[in-house]
């Protein structure tokens, strides 16, 4: 495991050095970060470690890509299995509704001209920007959210993946 972590850090350093302004390949290192940063902001920084939030965000990105027909459920399951094996969470916080993600995601540094852009996987090891991403995807009942009733008895959609 130590070798894997060291090698990943070396590869990341190479990518960062090659794309200091984050305009190309480096942006792809942000897989899971848009969702993860929303978790950190909503739950309070420090309540979720950055790596934990990004891990859950990676699964959310995979599920989103799967919903768009760009990623297979088998690949999503592989990500889930690997993250679980590493002891990382694969679900967002139970108390965080899908609607709670949006305000934070719309303030992300990848937003361009008011349009949310996500890094979504196409295959294991290959991702791309999903430009002009439809935020309505998060506000409707989807396979990537579980319906529950809030304290007032109203339907809400919880972002547990």
CATH number for position 86: 1.20.1090.10
Residue 48 lies in a domain: yes
Domain count, the chain: 1
Q: What is the pTM (predicted TM-score) of this model?
A: 0.78
Residue 72 lies in a domain: yes
pLDDT of 87 strictly over 70: yes
Q: Which of 5-9, 19-23, 59-63, 84-88 has the lowest mean pLDDT?
A: 19-23
Residue 20 lies in a domain: no
With cut-offs at 50, 70 and 90, classify the pLDDT of residue 143. Answer: very low
Residue 18 lies in a domain: no
Distance from chain centroid for Cα 36: 6
Residue 1 lies in a domain: no
With cut-offs at 50, 70 and 90, classify the pLDDT of residue 78. Answer: very high
pLDDT value at residue 157:
37
Q: Tell me which residue range forms the domain holding 76.
A: 25-158
pLDDT tens-digit series, residues 91-100 = 999 888 888 8
Give the list of residues 6+ apart from residue 93 with CB closer than 8 angstroms, or none. Answer: 39, 42, 43, 48
N-terminal to C-terminal alpha carbon distance within the chain: 26
pLDDT of 161 strictly over 60: no
Residue 51 lies in a domain: yes
With cut-offs at 50, 70 and 90, classify the pLDDT of residue 132. Answer: low
pLDDT of 67 strictly over 60: yes
Residue 4 lies in a domain: no
Tokens coding 25:
């390949």
**In percent, how much of the chain has pLDDT > 90?**
39
């Amino acid at each position: 495991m130590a070798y894997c972590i060291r090698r990943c850090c070396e590869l990341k350093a190479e990518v960062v050095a090659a794309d200091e302004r984050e305009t190309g390949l480096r942006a792809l290192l942000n897989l899971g970060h848009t969702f993860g940063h929303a978790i950190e902001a909503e739950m309070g920084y420090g309540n979720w470690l950055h790596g934990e939030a990004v891990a859950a965000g990676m699964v959310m990105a995979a599920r989103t890509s799967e919903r768009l027909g760009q990623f297979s459920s088998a690949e999503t399951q592989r990500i889930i299995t690997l993250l679980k094996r590493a002891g990382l969470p694969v679900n967002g916080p139970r108390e965080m509704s899908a609607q709670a993600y949006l305000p934070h995601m719309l303030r992300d540094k990848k937003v361009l001209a008011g349009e949310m852009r996500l890094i979504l996987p196409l295959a294991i090891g290959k991702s791309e920007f999903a430009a002009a991403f439809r935020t309505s995807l998060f506000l409707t009942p989807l396979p990537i959210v579980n319906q529950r009733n809030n304290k007032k008895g109203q339907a809400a959609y919880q972002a547990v993946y």
